[in-house]
Chains A and B, each alone.
Chain A
Amino acid sequence: AQSVAQPEDQVNVAEGNPLTVKCTYSVSGNPYLFWYVQYPNRGLQFLLKYITGDNLVKGSYGFEAEFNKSQTSFHLKKPSALVSDSALYFCAVRDGYGGATNKLIFGTGTLLAVQP
């Protein structure tokens, strides 16, 4: 069964500092990994995804994520945090790619708080 784990409920970082939001995954085949962000009382916004290719994936708003097969990780990173990055971040794994019944399985979410 596919699953993702986000070990941190909350990450605190000062504005201007680099940030990392951790995610590890467990899959039986090829991993299809996603990051989404949710602002208060809003739906999820797609940030980036890894399907195949380069291990470093660049996404929206200056975020990037590094796929590490040996560590089964897909951590989200940003070189310089902004207060406006404060939100709830979800890592997700898809149980397949291109199939009609493929579903996203979400982690528990990590609240990112960026202090001015």
Chain B
Amino acid sequence: GAVVSQHPSRVICKSGTSVKIECRSLDFQATTMFWYRQFPKKSLMLMATSNEGSKATYEQGVEKDKFLINHASLTLSTLTVTSAHPEDSSFYICSARQYRQPTSTDTQYFGPGTRLTVL
């Protein structure tokens, strides 16, 4: 299947600093990427949907000024957690959507996740 990478896989930062997480689709172009947050033993919570070249669409309750999303190219999206606090500690997972015509392939592939710990 298609490959999605995330970097870094793990990051520890001090409270008040900003952290950037990169998500790349390695072997396909993704017009749409998604960012999820997962708490321990919990399902994935969709944070936002980003389309290449346009502003991200945030889910209700997600602070767009705190979680900045940029989808600069068809293979790269970034999530920046600004002024991070301990409650932002979580597992962040990105996903890239592969959509192809004429086979009408429409599948989401997920990155390996980034473990953020804010001290």
Which residues from chain A sit less than 8 Å from chain B, CB to CB? 34, 36, 41-46, 49, 51, 60, 90, 94, 97-98, 100-104, 106-109, 111
Minimum CB–CB distance for B117 against chain A, Å: 13
Q: Residues 77-98 of chain B: 1 if any A CB is under 8 Å from the residue's CB, otherwise 0?
A: 0000000000000010101000
B residues 53-77 in Cβ contact with A at 8 Å: 57
Q: Is there contact, CB below 8 Å, between A43 and B34?
A: no
Task: Digitize B99-110: 1 where CB-to-A-CB distance is under 8 Å, 0 elsewhere.
Answer: 100001011111
B106 proximity list for chain A (CB < 8 A): 51, 94, 97-98, 102
User: Is B119's beta carbon under 8 Å from chain A?
Assistant: no
Main secondary structure of the interface of B (DSSP, over half): strand
Q: In angstroms, how far is the closest chain B Cβ from the Cβ of A103? A: 6
Select which of B41, B109, B112 is within 8 A of A46 by beta carbon.
B109
Q: With A43-B6, A43-B93 given, can you name 10 additional A-B contacts, CB distance below 8 Å?
A: A34-B108, A41-B115, A43-B111, A44-B95, A49-B107, A90-B43, A97-B106, A104-B46, A107-B43, A109-B42
Tell me if B34 and A103 are in contact (CB < 8 A): yes
Q: Which residues of B contact A44 (CB under 8 A)?
A: 44, 93, 95, 110
Q: Which 8 A-B pairs have the closest CB atoms?
A: A44-B110, A43-B110, A43-B112, A43-B113, A108-B43, A106-B43, A43-B111, A43-B93
Q: Which residues of B contact A107 (CB under 8 A)?
A: 43
Whether the pair A98, B109 counts as a contact (CB closer than 8 A) is no
Q: Given A94, A98, A101, which contacts B104 in the complex, CB threshold below 8 Å?
A: A98
Q: How far is the CA of A42 from the CA of B113 in the complex (A)?
A: 6
Say yes or no: A46-B44 contact (C-beta < 8 A), given A100-B51, A103-B34.
Answer: no
Whether A106 contacts B112 by the Cβ 8 Å rule is: no
B31 on interface, CB distance cutoff 8 Å: yes
Q: A98-B104, A106-B43 are in contact. Are A46 and B113 (CB under 8 A)?
A: no
